[in-house]
Structure 1
Amino acid sequence: MALKKIIGNHSTKMLNKSWDFWFDIVCKDELLSVKKKIKNFFSIPYLKTPYVLKYHIIDENGQRLLLRHELLLYYLEGNILGINYFFDITEKEKIEDYFKVVNNTSKDFQEKKSLISPREKEVLILVADGFSSKQIADMLFISNHTAITHRKNLIEKFKVKNTAQLIKKASRNIEL
């Protein structure tokens, strides 16, 4: 029922077109990233924890919705079964955006936000999702050395000692 609320009366199209249908409703500015992440999920054979994505789709009424999309693989009688869970978190996004505007006007926050390049933010999100530098390099089509360099630069920019502290401090200032 919840999925029908998100995609409306297009459930038949979804069954017939599968991922192509889904990618048609993902917001265009996020589509490439979402495709890469989903492709990578299916290329990692033994991932046993849910793989979590957050991205926007356009519903049948033209409204922009933020989804939390969890992918999980189950092994059943020698077969691999992929399960997708979708959660509409649009209202949560609106509430958090309001508090970000109210609470994050400090000079320190603005400086940290502007210091991070879009690519570094991608790396930071993948680090927060638990991926190794090698996995990040493969997902972003960069060298392992470049992924490691981005991680080191982020540690320096946030003035922390290790990746755990980086994620802790970054999550206070940037939505990961």
Structure 2
Amino acid sequence: MKMNFLELHPSLGPNSVFEDAVVSKMAKIKEACERSYGLMIGICGEEQGNFSYCNKKLRDSIGENGFELLADGWNFWFSMIDPGEVLAVKAQVHNIFMNPDTKIPLVLSYHITNCNGDRMYLRHEICFHQVDGRRIAINYWHDVTEKERIERHLKRSGPGDGAPASNQGPLNISSREEEVLRLIANGFSSKEIADILFISNHTAISHRKNLIEKFQVRNTAHLVKKAADFICLEPFL
């Protein structure tokens, strides 16, 4: 017998249908998620497109259209992510859903602007679990906006090794170069960057070389380290 999970809670997606044996376990998981007042939680199946559940904290954080996550799935979520970060996030989310045997959680960090126009910096963990033979992905979002503000201030005002020199002016980094920089920070090769951004491999290599020259560093590792002082750059993994 199958049961529509909407009967258990209105915060579930319209396609949340489970076998009887799964309903009890999922109900307990849902109850624990609803008691989490500080953690945003969303659950989806192996199908990358749909969410079957999101807790109140997540809906409230999304804003006035919080239930749209259940209706439109990942496409709605991706629409809130900053343009300079969304392609890298999409690529990594897609990759983990294409790997059915993964046991290592995916950890991402990125910015969103919610439906109320509020900007947030999130740490996003995707963990896969088996529930009576069904593979589900539990998404945990941590709001680390305040942490980012504090650390950015410390980087810009502190005398540490990573702080930029006081007489050094702002670098002219285009939005495309920032996209490339974020992908480099997450370990993507020039070919992978070219595929993600729909540019030629030659163009991706040129962007990498230009960034190394602009930041006056010798290699990619130094580029990522130094760039973190100029833009909010934190590796997703």
The answer to whether TM tops 0.5 is: yes
Alpha-carbon deviations, 1:124-153, whole Å to 9, x = none? Answer: 111111111111111111111111111111
The higher-RCO structure (CA 8 Å, 6+ apart) is 2
TM-score scaled by length of structure 2: 0.56
- Cross-structure match for 1:90: 145
RMSD, aligned α-carbons: 3.4
Count, aligned residues = 167
Residues 140, 75 of structure 1: alpha-carbon distance in 2 compared, 3 angstrom cutoff: farther
Q: What corresponds to 1:41 in structure 2?
A: 92
* Larger fraction in helix: 1
Q: 3-state DSSP class of the match of 2:142?
A: strand
2:12 equivalent in structure 1: none
Match of 2:111 in 1: 55
Q: Which amino acid aligns with 2:213?
A: E
TM-score scaled by structure 1?
Answer: 0.71
CA 1:92 to 1:32, structure 2 compared with 1: closer, same or farther past 3 Å? Answer: closer
Instruction: Say yes or no: does 1:67 pair with 2:126.
Output: no
Task: For residue 173 of structure 1, give the secondary structure of its aligned residue in structure 2.
Answer: coil
Label 1:7 to 1:57 Cα distance change in 2 as closer, same or farther (>3 A).
farther
CA distance in 1, matches of 2:196, 2:227: 21
Describe the SS at the equivalent of 2:113: strand
State the distance in 2 between where 1:163 and 1:78 align.
43
**Rg larger in 1 or in 2?**
2
- Give aligned-pair identity as a percent: 40
Unmatched tracts of structure 1, length 5 or more = none
* Unaligned residue ranges in structure 2 (runs of 5+): 1-35, 41-55, 159-163
* Aligned with residue 106 of structure 1, among 166, 172, 191: 166
Q: Matched residues in 1 for 2:72 and 2:144: separation? A: 25
